[in-house]
């Protein structure tokens, strides 16, 4: 009986490790080459396992895509929460969040948002709703901190700022408007963040913003 229990626990641990390996590998491939072009065979070959092993964890590719997308969202959300907990000034906080997100999205070479919207609309709709709730909350907290620190103008409307920021952040990922050959995502994110901040900062905030931009260019 004891041997059976040990074997069962060992198998459960192995299965959990394997599922995590599948998720990590698939997530990386999806970001690099897109949700549509990557097949279950590609993922199996990359890991060095049989396709049957993947199907023992996921019923189909859609369930794998959903798990990868939701897991990535949760990872990013947790990381953003840690940055917010550091209580930096509001402007530095946004740049730290931008840097963190960029380091985890691999330059988004394959336009994953567009592919998710086109080929997996239900997953896209779900994650977009979660994304809005998270970003809305984070931007409201950031604006409140910026107001308290006198870095943002007192007459701004926090609710409008939070919603227009979300809208703009989604729009710049549309490669029909901002083709990656002209607007590399890292440069585009920098430009959008500066555009956002210059519209709401006080003279005190402007000095901090200029110092950050200048230090990033050195």
Contact 93, 83 (CB under 8 A): yes
How far apart are the C-alpha atoms of 207 and 204, rounded to whole Å? 5
Q: Which two tokens stand for residue 218?
A: 């050195």
Domain assignments of the chain as residue spans, ordered by start = 61-217
Name which of 45-49, 72-76, 105-109, 173-177 the model is least confident about.
105-109
Contact 161, 106 (CB under 8 A): no
Residue 146 has pLDDT above 50, yes or no: yes
How far apart are the C-alpha atoms of 10 and 54, rounded to whole Å? 19
pTM comes to 0.86
Q: CA of 91: how far to CAs of 63, 121, 156, 212, in Å? A: 38, 34, 16, 9
Residue 7 has pLDDT above 70, yes or no: no
- Pick from 189, 190, 44: which is nearest to 108 by CA? 189
pLDDT per residue as tens digits for the range 14-52: 678 899 999 999 999 998 888 999 999 999 999 999 999
Q: Which top CATH class is 61-217?
A: mainly alpha
Residue in the structure block whose two tokens are 């990922």: 173
């Amino acid at each position: 009986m004891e041997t059976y229990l040990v074997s069962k626990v060992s198998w459960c641990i192995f299965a959990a490790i394997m599922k995590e390996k599948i998720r990590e590998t698939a997530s990386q491939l999806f970001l690099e080459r897109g949700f549509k072009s990557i097949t279950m065979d590609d993922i199996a070959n990359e890991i060095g396992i049989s396709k049957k092993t993947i199907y023992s964890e996921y019923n189909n590719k859609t369930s794998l895509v959903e798990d990868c997308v939701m897991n990535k969202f949760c990872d990013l959300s947790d990381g953003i929460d840690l940055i917010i907990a550091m209580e930096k000034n509001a402007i530095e906080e946004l740049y730290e969040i931008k840097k963190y997100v960029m380091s985890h999205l691999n330059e988004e070479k394959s336009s994953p948002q567009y592919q998710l919207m086109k080929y997996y609309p239900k997953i896209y709709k779900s994650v977009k709703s979660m994304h809005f709730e998270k970003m809305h909350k984070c931007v409201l907290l950031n604006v409140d901190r910026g107001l308290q620190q006198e870095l943002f103008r007192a007459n701004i409307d926090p609710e409008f700022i939070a919603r227009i920021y979300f809208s703009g952040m989604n729009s710049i990922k549309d490669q029909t408007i901002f083709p990656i050959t002209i607007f590399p995502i890292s440069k585009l994110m920098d430009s959008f963040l500066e555009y956002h901040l210059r519209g709401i900062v006080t003279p005190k905030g402007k000095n901090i913003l200029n110092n950050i931009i200048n230090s990033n260019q050195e």
